[in-house]
Amino acid sequence: MDDLAIRAATDADLDRVLAFWKTAAEGTSISDDTDGVAVLVARDPEALLLAERNGELAGTVIAAFDGWRCHLYRLAVDPRQRRQGVATALLTAAEQRFAEVGGRRADAMVLDRNASGRGAWSAAGYASEPQWSRWVKHLV
């Protein structure tokens, strides 16, 4: 993907990323607003990775490391650019980042109803661990 560039997001990208997620991401999150994404970028400036092609946003992934585990969120690819290696390039960059910070295991959040998302994660070598369930409490 010679024409695909991967870089970390900056504050200047936040509105564009939020608009992109409305068309390219499955589902929404309580943190899908300018304040939520700004906190992420301020806390970990390398976590939100963007894939760009010809100046256009082609995909995103959040590659967060909390010092203990590596977490992947918001793997989203422009529907017109799917199956062209964008997700693979983003996950390669995320996994490289994790290796650089000492991460040993990465996990991904995938909606149960997102069949194409589950297929993409499986194709990338990720597997569901049925012995775990996710427990959530909204703090806001």
Asked if the model's pLDDT at residue 1 lies above 50, the reply is no
Question: Amino acid letter at 50?
Answer: L
Asked if the model's pLDDT at residue 74 lies above 80, the reply is yes
CATH code for the domain of 50: 3.40.630.30
Into how many domains does the chain fold?
A: 1
Boundaries of domain holding 73: 4-123
The pLDDT value recorded for residue 77 is 95
Residue 137 lies in a domain: no
Residue 132 lies in a domain: no
Asked if the model's pLDDT at residue 2 lies above 70, the reply is no
Top-confidence residue, 48 or 29: 48
The pLDDT value recorded for residue 47 is 96
Residue 131 lies in a domain: no
Task: Classify strands 48-53 and 4-8 as parallel, antiparallel or unpaired.
Answer: antiparallel
Residue 79 lies in a domain: yes
Residue 129 lies in a domain: no
**Dihedral pair phi/psi, residue 120, rounded to 5°:** -65, -45
Angle at 117 between CA 82 and CA 35, to 5 degrees: 90
Asked if the model's pLDDT at residue 18 lies above 70, the reply is yes
Q: Which H or E element spans position 106?
A: strand 106-108
